Amino acid sequence: MTITCGIDWAEAHHDVALVDSDGRLIAKQRIADDLAGWHVLQQLLTAHGDCAEQPIPVAIETSRGLLVACLRASGRMIYAINPLAVARYRERHTVARSKSDHADAMTLANILRVDRHVHRPLPTDSDLVQAIAVLARAQQDAVWSRHQVVNQLRSLLREYFPAALDLFHVKNIGLDSREARAVLAAAPTPAAAAKLTLGRLQALLRRAGRQRNIEVWADRIHAAFRAPQLRQLPVVEEAFGHQATALLSQLDAACRAVDALAEATKDAFRKHPDAEIITSFPGLADVTGARVLAEMGDDRSRFADAKSLKAYSGAAPITRASGRSRTVHHRKVKNQRLAAVGYVWAFASLRTAGPRNHYDRRRALGDRHSSALRHTFNRMLGCLYHCLQNRQRYSDGVAFASAQLAAAS
């Protein structure tokens, strides 16, 4: 008799349901989200035939958390079912839109009983890849948080101190740079900025870590701060200054978090055997390579072919056909993190001849910049899949050999 298990996950407790091959409920239990609850779940599974040779598969609505980690460590097949898919399956049994935790647990168990073959289990990634995924995602979240604080600071400065925006709106010197943070922390208002001397500005730039063109930058900042400009009322300007100081404190913390997580990500990524192959690709360094590896994993059986990986990342288009209508769109349901690093990867790879020629060819066919980059990412991702499967480094001449021969002819 085939038994399947469904777990409706919640913060404080989880509802467990076991069904047999005919869909009959044979056991149910509510367990706590702690060690005692884990022991109860183990006893429940063992009492219904769970063993090392034939563990009972489990369906759950999340792929993260301590419960999922313990289930994965037990060596069983874990299926993370999208909550939207669970809602659609729920409507197969009732149209009254009734909902309960126990019913959702039964629905999850029945999903495995009926359609297990169309759902993918969680990949059996190595411990190192799981650690890299934690660090890479945390670093990416920290970068996004830093951008959010920078946008808030930019909007605030536009209200009362636009000269600072123009001053630090140059290449490689933005509001999140060390120079900008040091100067604005010392002079958060136009009144305080106008009092800064050249010597004080040079000292701030040196303390921020700048080593070249210190005098030139100090003169430029000094002239910009003393130039006539529109001003808020003194009391209002002082209030804006306090708000800017608070945002600068948040920005400093965000920048330190980004740098610290980037170093930890690099150290973990360099220990993985796939790091040498991944970084051989143009446009991929340690941090971006770690993000790609974190989302792909090192379970070689996770994706049946390169097309599956491309669809997972959103690089492959999706076709919608009905009658005489046939349209092709880019995918919206995808791994957003892999798609985000794919855009950066494709853009950075344009310095190499193969990706650049592919991008230019797509642009000549009428693609927009983002669409051409997505096509380039699609091509590079297929090459990465091939290289990882065959344990070989990237070669521009091999990856784009057909395109180069066509261009030469």
Q: Which of the residues in the chain have pLDDT under 70?
A: 1, 96, 402-409
pLDDT score, position 407: 52
pLDDT score, position 10: 87
Nearest-angstrom CA–CA distance, 106 and 100: 10
Nearest-angstrom CA–CA distance, 215 and 208: 14
pLDDT score, position 323: 84
pLDDT score, position 46: 92
pLDDT in tens, 87-130: 888 887 777 677 788 888 999 999 999 988 888 899 989 999 99
**Residue 350 is inside which H or E element, if any?**
none
What amino acid is encoded at 175 in this protein?
A: L
pTM of this structure: 0.87
The tokens describing 344, both together, are 């950066």
Burial, 153: exposed, middle or buried (Cβ in 10 Å; 0-12, 13-18, 19+)? buried
Tell me if 165 sits within 8 A of 157, measured CB to CB: yes
pLDDT score, position 360: 94
Tell me if 31 sits within 8 A of 10, measured CB to CB: no
Angle at 136 between CA 185 and CA 262, to 5 degrees: 40
Nearest-angstrom CA–CA distance, 149 and 247: 7
pLDDT score, position 2: 86
Nearest-angstrom CA–CA distance, 54 and 345: 42
Tell me if 81 sits within 8 A of 60, measured CB to CB: yes
The position carrying tokens 């008799």 is 1
pLDDT score, position 98: 73
Q: How many CB atoms lie within 10 A of CB 117?
A: 6
- Alpha-carbon distances, residue 194 vs 198, 203, 326 (angstroms): 11, 16, 63
* Counts of helices then strands in the chain (DSSP H, E): 19, 7
